[in-house]
A and B are shown apart, each in its own frame.
Chain A
Amino acid sequence: QSALTQPPSASGSPGQSVTISCTGTSSDVGGYNYVSWYQQRPGKAPKLMIYEVTKRPSGVPDRFSGSKSGNTASLTVSGLQAEDEADYYCSSYAGTNIPVFGGGTKLTVL
């Protein structure tokens, strides 16, 4: 149950695109199409942004998209807005109903 690896920080200017990576192993990210992404603003509970690698829950803007290649998943935020500034966490199914989270990435909108 090792944590997934995310960059500690990422940044971009309004209107730009930014991609956050999430690296695991063949036992989690690479082994299943069950990667999810969460947005957490300071003092708030996490919010589901992407699930099953590419799916967006109702209400999540289509500026948020997910993808996966091998053992690495990615979250792309297009057309950055000030409100996108938050911490982002990836999570992957790791077998036997155990999910594992990444360490989180602080996204700064410059």
Chain B
Amino acid sequence: EVQLLESGGGLVQPGGSLRLSCAASGFTFRDYAMSWVRQAPGRGLEWVSGISGSIGSTYYADSVKGRFTISRDNSKNTLDLQMNSLRAEDTAVYYCAKSLQRVAARDFDYWGRGTLVTVSS
């Protein structure tokens, strides 16, 4: 059974940093692209960042480029998101999502339960 378990969310002040992690199990982690998708309270889904399978090419939404860094450890089956220079508009539930594809950040067939990030003073 595929499982994705996010951790690391919490309350942080504007300008601060936070690191999210996602522990994956139940599939060959290195064979699939992974992404972070967020959802602000009462709002829609927004793709944040993605990383390809074995090669680890990274992709970012314009809204987080230069502030967020995605990474993966295929030996530990973990996906991380380092978030710096956080803003109030980054407040959201952050989901870890698995792609059906090896390279492309699309067609997310499994999602974690999400972790809440709140940016507020």
A residues near B (Cβ < 8 Å) are 1, 3, 34, 36, 38, 40, 45-48, 51-52, 57, 89, 91, 93, 96-104
Q: From residue A53, how far is it (CB to closest CB) to chain B in Å? A: 11
Which of B71-79, B84-92, B98-106 makes up part of the contact surface? B98-106
A–B Cβ pairs within 8 angstroms, 16 of them: A1-B61, A3-B44, A34-B106, A36-B108, A46-B95, A48-B107, A51-B106, A51-B107, A57-B100, A89-B45, A97-B50, A97-B52, A97-B57, A97-B105, A101-B37, A101-B45
Contact B44 A97 (CB under 8 A): no
Given A1-B61, A45-B114, A51-B100, A101 and B107 contact (CB-CB distance below 8 Å): no
Whether A97 pairs with B45 at a CB distance below 8 angstroms is no
B56 contacts across to A, CB distance below 8 A: none
Docked-complex contact B44 and A104, CB < 8 angstroms: yes
Please list the residues of chain B having a beta carbon within 8 angstroms of any beta carbon in chain A.
35, 37, 44-47, 50, 52, 57, 59, 61-63, 95, 100, 103-109, 111-114
Q: Which residues of chain B are near A36, meaning CB under 8 Å? A: 106-108
CB of B106 within 8 A of CB of A101, answer no
Chain B residues in 8 Å Cβ range of A1: 61-63
Give which listed residue, B45, B61, B63, B112, contacts A38 with CB less than 8 A: B45
B58 shortest CB reach to chain A, Å: 9
Given A51-B100, A104-B45, the answer on whether A45 and B62 have CB atoms closer than 8 Å is no
Complex contact A46–B44 (CB within 8 A): no
- Taking a contact as CB atoms under 8 Å apart, the answer to whether A98 and B47 are in contact is yes
Question: Quick check: A100 and B104 within 8 Å, CB to CB?
Answer: no
Say yes or no: B109 contacts A98, CB within 8 Å.
no
Q: Contacts A46-B45, A103-B44, A104-B45 known; A96 to B59 CB distance under 8 Å?
A: yes
